[in-house]
């Protein structure tokens, strides 16, 4: 642990260890993430991507452009919906692989995203929400979003608005996370999830 930057004083107590881990994790959070359009991407799980693509097509979503999040290096493909306020996404990240997300955006710009992922064990910034719905289909994500939607409180979404809203939401969350840091429970959950991912490889 000394190689990671821990001092002897940091290792005296659990509080010191947690405090140092928090400092290390917060230091890795980028100041800003930008989304840059990309023309191609080699999906880490092609069959899972094709399944999500077929599901969004069956739901009437229109495939749109892909964007690379820099510097964190994940890819998001946007899918536009005829349903007011809804945007679909297929995301490929180094930590969670390929998964789907359906976002409901309100008039005030706040967003609620429903993901077919297991819980990450981390807090999320309000008023935006990221809801981990488990391993359900994109159709199930749409159902969750429609259950929460108030028809008179949604923002019409085109691609430019979808990208800018997502980028702003991500960066506001990163700023919030740099401010609040990580508590001991969150760190424990992150380490346990990392172990599960290593065992799954």
Q: Diameter of the chain by CA atoms?
A: 59
Residue 7 lies in a domain: no
Q: What percent of the chain has pLDDT over 90?
A: 55
Question: Residue 127: which H helix or E strand, with range?
Answer: none
At residue 27, φ and ψ (nearest 5 deg) are -65, -25
**Tally of domains in the chain:** 1
Model confidence pLDDT, tens digit, residues 71-113: 878 999 999 999 889 999 999 998 889 999 999 998 888 889 9
Residue 201 lies in a domain: no
Peptide bond into 127 cis (omega under 30): yes
Residue 129 lies in a domain: yes
Q: Give the domain range for residue 107.
A: 34-180
Is residue 138 within 8 A of residue 116, CB to CB? The reply is yes
This prediction's pTM: 0.86
- What is the Cα 16 distance to its own chain's centre? 30
Q: What is the mean pLDDT of the chain?
A: 88
């Amino acid at each position: 642990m000394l190689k990671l930057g821990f001092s002897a004083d940091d290792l005296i107590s659990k509080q010191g260890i947690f405090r140092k881990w928090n400092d290390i994790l917060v230091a890795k959070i980028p100041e800003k993430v930008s989304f840059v359009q990309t023309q191609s991407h080699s999906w880490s799980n092609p069959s899972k991507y094709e399944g999500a693509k077929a599901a969004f097509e069956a739901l009437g979503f229109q495939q749109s452009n892909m964007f690379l999040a820099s510097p964190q290096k994940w890819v998001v493909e946007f899918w536009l919906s005829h349903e007011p306020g809804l945007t679909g996404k297929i995301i490929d990240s180094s930590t969670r692989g390929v998964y789907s997300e359906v976002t409901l955006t309100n008039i005030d710009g706040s967003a609620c995203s429903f993901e077919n992922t297991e819980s990450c064990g981390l807090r999320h910034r309000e008023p935006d929400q990221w809801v981990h719905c488990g391993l359900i289909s994109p159709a199930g994500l749409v159902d969750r979003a429609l259950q929460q939607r108030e028809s008179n409180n949604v923002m019409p979404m085109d691609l430019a608005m979808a990208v800018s809203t997502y980028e702003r939401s991500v960066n506001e969350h990163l700023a919030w996370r740099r401010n609040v840091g990580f508590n001991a429970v969150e760190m424990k959950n992150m380490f346990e999830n990392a172990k599960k991912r290593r065992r799954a490889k």
